[in-house]
Every structure is written in C-alpha cells, then in structure tokens.
Structure 1
Amino acid sequence: MSAQRSVPTVVAVVSEELFTEFFSDEDAERLRAVAARLGGTFLRVDRLTDAELAEARIVITSWGIGPFDAAVLASLPALALIAHTGATIKPFATDALFDRGILVTQAGAGMARPVAEVSLTFTLALLHRVPEMHNALRCGDGWYDADAVGVQREILGTPIAVIGASRTGRAYLELIRALGAEALLVDPTIDADAAAALGAELVPLDEALRRAQIVAVHAPTLPETHHLIGRRELALMRDGAGLVNTARSWLVDEAALIEELQRGRLSAAIDVFDEEPFAADSPFRTLPGALVTPHRAAGTSQGRRRQGRIVADEVEAFAAGRPLAHTVSRDQLSSMA
C-alpha cells in the first residue's frame, strides 16, 4: 500500500484555541479520516497564507477570515467546500465563490439553544427587575427603593412578544412556553396555524408591542428589518416593559432605545451593539435599567462542541457524496447578519 501523501486536502483556518473549543478528539479524528479518504492530510492553520493549499478540497473557517475573492480562490484551485464553524458567512462569501460552484455550509443551528437560554435569562432578569436592584445596591450607599425599581413579575401568564420565528426564536419560544408565558409571535413569513403549532398567537408588530411585557428580538437581518424597533415602536411599548436583543443591533435603533432607558420608562437586556466593543463612555455602562453582555450569548462549551460536530458531519457527508444539511446559497446571504 502506498504511503499517504502529505499534501493537505482538509484545512481548518481556525486558531488553536478555537479549534479545541469546537472539535472534540473524536470529531477532530473524523476530519483527519476525511482528509485521508480524499488522498491527503488534515492541516490546521491560523491563516490561509500559512501553507501551500493547491490540493485542499475542504476549508473549515471561523471568525475573522477574509473574503474568498478571486485572488484567494486562485490559490485554492481544488476547493469544493467551505464549512463554517459559525452562523453568518457574509464576511467571507463572495460572488466569485458561488460563481465557481463551491458549496458553503455553516453551523448556526448549534448556536440556537445557548442564545435562546440567554434570551430567557434576560427575560427573567427584566421581569424580576434584577438590573435595577443590582445596580442600585452596587452604586448606592443604602438598600433600594422598591417604588423606583418598578413592579416585579413572574413569567407565568405574562405576555411575551417574539419577533421572528428563526431557529433561535423557535428555541426561545419553546423555553418560555414551558414556563407558562403567553407567547405572541410576529413573523410575516408564517401563518396563524404555523404559529399555533409553535404554541404562539400570531399578531402584527404594533399589537405585540402594545400587549407584551417583554419584547424579544430574533428576526433576520434584512433591508426591511433595519431598525425594525425604532423610536415609534419603542413608544408603543407599555411603561415598565423590557426589550431583549440577542440577535443583531441592526434590528433596534440604539439611540432611540438609550433615550427610553435614560427616561427610565423601559428596561433592556442586550448582547449586541452598534459598536463592539462599545466605548468607555457608552451610556450602556451606567444606565440602571440596562443589563449588558459582550456578544457572548452563543459562547457555551456545549454549543461550541455542537457547532464542531455539525461541521464534522457536513465534511463527512460531502466526502461520502451525501446531501449537506446546512448549506447556504447566494440568495440566502441577504438574510444573514
């Protein structure tokens, strides 16, 4: 039997730290086995330029990779599949990539559960006025003013609006339904029966904003969803209501939200911002009714390994000539953040 050639056929452009987070020993071995099946070896690099990759058939990507433009693709003449460990492929997908017929797949499905759990955590925190009380105790010299904090509520029976029946929106719906919330769903792409099957009442956006105690944003990034929640929409929300955003800042007019938070009329829990990291003097650092996290909603150890497993599954399916489960087409790019 001839010795396996040392040319890389499967290449992971992923930092060593992230590669360990994404891929268990078993899944890493699956990648090596696919590389051998394709007649070469597996290679992990930090940058595409770190090695000669003329025979690479599969490239695994992560955050921070640059566009696969004509120049990059010229150095990868055998490339047939890009398997992305994250969700959006916008930072690197180009027309040249799709023009060449290269398949692109991504692992966003692995991120739905952790993001939904953070959305639920945010929801419960806002209902129980945790940000206001936490900030009052840390910044003040007394106990706390119950009247200033606002009414504390349970999730049971509370109307919660879910804006978008995305993967994450559906996972969040499942969680809040299990805790007895009254689920309202806003999504123009589904009908009332489909919403009912998800355990939610389908309502127009304005009605959802007026009725809900918590508004959780899970819509896709489209031209028509830019600032979907703007000054007019925020004004429709009831006094004391809360906004949860673990999706994209694109969906919410950040300046208008800050104004409402400064007035103390609404509260908010947010994982995504127009500027990341936000400035040292950002109002989000001091607003008493705001709970903020640094774009880490999907960062669980289980979620990372789930993303790696999805990538390994897709790579194996490709090598075996089976259909892929998570491909992204050129047309789908417009709905990605």
Structure 2
Amino acid sequence: MSAAASGGTVAPTVVAVVSEELFAEFFSGEDAERLQAVAAGLGGSFVRVDRLSDAELAEARIVITSWGVGPFDAAVLASLPKLELIAHTGATIKPFATDALFDRGVVVTQAGAGMARPVAEVSLTFTLALLHRVPEMHNALRADDGWYDADAVGVQREILGTPIAVIGASRTGRAYLELIRALGAEPLLVDPTLDAAAAAGLGAELVTLDEALRRAQIVAVHAPTLPETHHLIGRRELALLRDGAGLVNTARSWLVDEAALIQELERGRLSAAIDVFDEEPFAADSPFRSLPGVLVTPHRAAGTSQGRLRQGRIVVDEVEAFAEGRTLTHTISRDQLSSMA
C-alpha cells in the first residue's frame, strides 16, 4: 500500500519504509490489515513508502524498516518528533541504529528469529552436499565430456553417525542442531556461554573449539559477530581439520579467515559450502567461482517465502504489542549492537 492509496488527509502514525516488492513478500493481506488497524487505533493512518522523505512524519509513532534504510541520525529524528518504535523486518539493525536513536529512548525490535529455520535448512543442505561430494561431482561433470574421477572426488559419507561441529548455539545454530540430530548425526557443540548439561539438553556434546575441529567431518559456523569471534576459524584452526573435512558458513564471513580458507581449498584438502563473503558480490575473478570442492550461494539462505512472511508476522506482532502496552519479544538494546554484523 502506497501513501496515496492509504492516505486521505489523516496523518500517518505507522510508516513502513519498505519497497513495494518486499512489502508483498513480508506482509500477508491479513498482516497488512493489522498494521492499518494499529495505525487507526493510534489516531492516524498507515502508509508504505520507499523513502522516509516520501511521507509526512510529524505524527508517526512507529516506523517499520527493511534493508537499505539510512541511519536515524539527528536530522532524520528531527523529522520524527513522536517516534517511539522502530520495527525492523530483518535481523541486524547496525546500518540504521545510532546513539541518537537510543538517546531518544526509541524502542528497536527486529525479526531475525524468522530467519533461523530457512538458514538452518540451507546449512543442512550444504552439509549433505559436502558429505556426498556433490560440488566435486557436479563441477567435474560440467567441466568436460568425461565422467567423474572417484579418487579425485573423495570419500562420500552419510550424515548418520557422522561427527558434526556446530560453532555457536545461536537461534540458527539450535535450529540446525535439531535438524542434524533428527538425521542421526553426532553433534559437537562449541559455545562458551553453555555448560555440558545445557549442551546435552540440546542433544550435543560440549567440546572446545580445537577438539571440535579435530573430530568433526563437517564444521558449521553459527557464532555471533563479536570482536573476539573475528576470524574465529583462521589458518591455525583450518589446519586442525582432518583431510577431506568440510566447512559450512551461512552466518557471517567475519567468522572465517577467507584468504586462509581459499588456500586450503586450492590445495584440495578441504571442501566448503558458503553463503556469505568478505566482498558481496565477489569479483569476476574470485577463486570461489572456479574451485572444484566449493558450493556457493549469493547470501540468500534466509530468502524463503515462508521465512519472509514469518518475519513480517513477527514485526506486526511486535507493533501490536507495543501499541497495546504489552511486553515486546524481540527488542534490541544499544549494548547488543556489538554482536551484530
């Protein structure tokens, strides 16, 4: 719904700064109607705009954001004198969250929880592909008119009984744990915030990072982006992996030393399946475009239709709760920004 479509002369109290295409992906007809009802309950209207500058914001109390929105600096906040809540359809709020925003006491919430399942499913897809040597065989068959070389491809494995290291018991890490456990893997969990009993409750054995890397056939990265997790998997850590092991990264490239990983992949000692990169999009001559043991996707692990609608539903639930004075579930504080990419 555009500003013109919803507008009349009633000033907007709820504004969605979301493209028309993304709005349709995030919000079902029912959820869009719920946003209109919230706006009416606040004495105004609901509008969707492409840019904040496209709307009259003097009465806006709630702003819904998506990717590409600019920072809420002093100038933007001056145009939003009644702003109380920002509800983000994505996960990280770093691109727009400012000290000025938090200084004003604006509540910020996000819908990252809606992404956990699709990202976990992609991580599982990657895991199975690496275990069964799909990238090597796929690339070998497309390279020429021959057949694949079994010795060059490497040993194919089932997930049943296979040790898989999960680095980080994040929302996505836990969703991934649930999936690999259901298929009979032997999960090894690395997370300094948990004890052995908590890990056992998740169906995993708590181990140190070094032990996980030495024992695992697949290492799946799901840790937060903190200063101490930068290049958590570096040259030393990659050297600990057994020959033929695979690395799965659907989290952030921050966590893995990309240059060191490329060196190992060029040697053919490891395989990898990756959705996140230091440079996006990566260059035309990037090694990721030609390495035989690598499966790559363009940072789209969370992009399912169900996941998008789940994110939108989370946003609307939070907006309704805020308008009704109830406790919000997915708020983000200033202190939590350091763990976001």
Which range, TM-score by smaller chain? over 0.9
Aligned mates of 1:116, 1:268 — CA distance in 2: 16
Question: 2:117·2:307 contact (CA, 8 Å) conserved in 1?
Answer: yes
CA deviations 1:207-261 (Å, max 9, x no partner) are 0000000000000000000000000000000000000000000000000000000
Q: Shift of the alpha carbon at 1:51? A: 1.6
- What is the DSSP-based 3-state SS (H/G/I as helix, E as strand, rest coil) of the residue aligned with 2:87? strand
Question: 1:11·1:56 contact (CA, 8 Å) conserved in 2?
Answer: yes
Question: 2:3·2:55 contact (CA, 8 Å) conserved in 1?
Answer: no
After superposition, the Cα gap between the structure-2 partners of 1:8 and 1:238, relative to the gap in structure 1 and judged at 3 Å, is same
Question: 1:10·1:59 contact (CA, 8 Å) conserved in 2?
Answer: yes
Aligned mates of 1:2, 1:12 — CA distance in 2: 9
Q: Shift of the alpha carbon at 1:3? A: 18
Map 1:1-337 → 2, pairs under 5 A: 7-337=11-341
Question: 1:185·1:201 contact (CA, 8 Å) conserved in 2?
Answer: yes
CA deviations 1:9-62 (Å, max 9, x no partner) are 000000000000000000000000000000000000000111211110000000
Question: 1:215·1:242 contact (CA, 8 Å) conserved in 2?
Answer: yes
- What is the DSSP-based 3-state SS (H/G/I as helix, E as strand, rest coil) of the residue aligned with 1:168? helix
CA deviations 1:129-187 (Å, max 9, x no partner) are 00000000001220010000000000000000000000000000000000000000000
Question: 2:2·2:48 contact (CA, 8 Å) conserved in 1?
Answer: no
Question: 1:4·1:40 contact (CA, 8 Å) conserved in 2?
Answer: no
After superposition, the Cα gap between the structure-2 partners of 1:10 and 1:239, relative to the gap in structure 1 and judged at 3 Å, is same
Question: 1:5·1:40 contact (CA, 8 Å) conserved in 2?
Answer: no
Q: Shift of the alpha carbon at 1:5? A: 14
Q: Shift of the alpha carbon at 1:2? A: 24
CA deviations 1:275-302 (Å, max 9, x no partner) are 0000111000000000000000000000
**Matched-pair identity in %:** 90
Normalized against structure 2, the TM-score is what?
0.97
Aligned mates of 1:140, 1:164 — CA distance in 2: 40
After superposition, the Cα gap between the structure-2 partners of 1:313 and 1:3, relative to the gap in structure 1 and judged at 3 Å, is closer
Question: 1:4·1:39 contact (CA, 8 Å) conserved in 2?
Answer: no
Structure 1 segments, 4+ long, off by >2 Å, are: 1-6
CA deviations 1:97-138 (Å, max 9, x no partner) are 111100000000000000000000000000000000000000
Question: 1:160·1:181 contact (CA, 8 Å) conserved in 2?
Answer: yes
Aligned mates of 2:4, 2:213 — CA distance in 1: 61
Aligned mates of 1:223, 1:50 — CA distance in 2: 37
Aligned mates of 2:55, 2:303 — CA distance in 1: 29
Question: 1:133·1:149 contact (CA, 8 Å) conserved in 2?
Answer: yes
Q: Shift of the alpha carbon at 1:330? A: 0.6
After superposition, the Cα gap between the structure-2 partners of 1:143 and 1:36, relative to the gap in structure 1 and judged at 3 Å, is same
Aligned mates of 2:247, 2:46 — CA distance in 1: 45
Aligned mates of 2:291, 2:12 — CA distance in 1: 52
Return 5+ residue gaps in structure 1 as ranges.
none
- What is the DSSP-based 3-state SS (H/G/I as helix, E as strand, rest coil) of the residue aligned with 1:234? helix
Aligned mates of 2:73, 2:204 — CA distance in 1: 43
Question: 2:2·2:49 contact (CA, 8 Å) conserved in 1?
Answer: no
- What is the DSSP-based 3-state SS (H/G/I as helix, E as strand, rest coil) of the residue aligned with 1:5? helix
Question: 2:273·2:295 contact (CA, 8 Å) conserved in 1?
Answer: yes
- What is the DSSP-based 3-state SS (H/G/I as helix, E as strand, rest coil) of the residue aligned with 1:82? strand
RMSD: 2.4
Normalized against structure 1, the TM-score is what?
0.98
Aligned mates of 2:60, 2:119 — CA distance in 1: 33
Moved more, 198-207 or 48-57: 48-57
- What is the DSSP-based 3-state SS (H/G/I as helix, E as strand, rest coil) of the residue aligned with 2:161? coil
Question: 1:10·1:31 contact (CA, 8 Å) conserved in 2?
Answer: yes
Moved more, 6-15 or 160-169: 6-15
